[in-house]
Amino acid sequence: MSTDYAEKERDFIASLNEDTGRDLAGWMAAIAESGLSERNAIIDWLRHQGFQFARASWLERIHHNGGRLIYADALEHAQHSSRSTARVPASNEEPPARDPPERPRLPLPGTSPLGNDIQQLLAEAKGLRPLAELILREIARIVPDVAFGTSNAFIVMSAPLPFAALLPGPRKLRLYANFRQAATGRTLPAETVNKMAPPFSEMLLLDDARSIDEDFRRSIRAAARR
């Protein structure tokens, strides 16, 4: 049975690059760069990148195993012996099937020449960085031709004209745009930033992934039609 899990693990890892655009080393580096160390926080962050829970949990366990496969030793031992000494997984450790990610595979913000600038601004969000990345990924899905750039403290979205700007912060994420009343009841008058006029007239305060819902998507579509 351990050998079966080892083979499933090997297939899962082999498919990572094709399914997500990153191989195992790439995802181990991305997890390290996220600054997260707590198990559930890493799993949640991976789910925001588009993984199903089972696959996110599997990657998290490999990460906490120093980047080494969980059942690699079992597979190697089975090739030389009919008796495997590897541990039998618990019932809740079922390795993930090779299913497509829950979300469309979208380029992570920061893959353009302005990537370093964007990543530096995302770092300002600290614990809210996974949510900030989720917002940018969702906007990329809603507005396929969006381009990400930076201006002062903002991550600016254009298609081709600027239509929204994200201000990352450790307690709240401020998304500025002209939402055209599409987010009535959720928007606030835009706040100034470092005594500068806000880039757009309205803003959304975001600190929970549950706020990235259909109302949010409708608001982004309205803003992009400016």
88 and 137 in a single domain? The answer is: no
Give the containing element (helix H, strand E) for 106.
Answer: none
Q: Which of 153, 145, 155 is nearest to 109 (CA)?
A: 155
Most confident of 45-59, 76-90, 133-147: 133-147
pLDDT in tens, 27-80: 998 898 888 888 888 888 888 888 888 888 888 889 888 888 877 655 555 555
- Residue 102 in any domain: the answer is no
- Residue 12 in any domain: the answer is yes
24 and 84 in a single domain? The answer is: yes
131 and 49 in a single domain? The answer is: no
pLDDT class for 114, splitting at 50, 70, 90? very low
55 and 135 in a single domain? The answer is: no
151 and 209 in a single domain? The answer is: yes
31 and 87 in a single domain? The answer is: yes
Structure tokens, 204:
């959304």
pLDDT class for 104, splitting at 50, 70, 90? very low
54 and 143 in a single domain? The answer is: no
Taking 70 as the threshold, does the pLDDT of residue 154 lie above it? Answer: yes
- Residue 98 in any domain: the answer is no
138 and 45 in a single domain? The answer is: no
202 and 139 in a single domain? The answer is: yes
Q: Which of 88, 56, 95, 59 is nearest to 74 (CA)?
A: 88
Most confident of 3-12, 32-41, 128-137: 128-137
Give 3 or 210, the one with higher predicted confidence. 210
Taking 80 as the threshold, does the pLDDT of residue 164 lie above it? Answer: yes
- Residue 100 in any domain: the answer is no
| H-state helical runs in 79-204 | 115-123, 129-142
121 and 205 in a single domain? The answer is: yes
Q: Which of 49, 58, 63, 57 is nearest to 11 (CA)?
A: 58
pLDDT class for 112, splitting at 50, 70, 90? very low
83 and 121 in a single domain? The answer is: no
Taking 80 as the threshold, does the pLDDT of residue 4 lie above it? Answer: no
Residue 150, helix vs strand vs coil: strand
Q: Given 60, 93, 126, which residue is the final one in a domain?
A: 93
Number of domains present in the structure of the chain: 2
Residue 226 confidence (pLDDT): 65
pLDDT in tens, 175-213: 999 987 665 678 889 988 878 888 999 999 998 888 888
Beta bridge partners of 202: 177, 189
State the residue range of the domain holding 157: 115-224
| H-state helical runs in 35-106 | 39-48, 53-64, 72-78
Question: What is the spatial distance between Cα 27 and Cα 37, in angstroms, rounded to a whole number?
Answer: 14
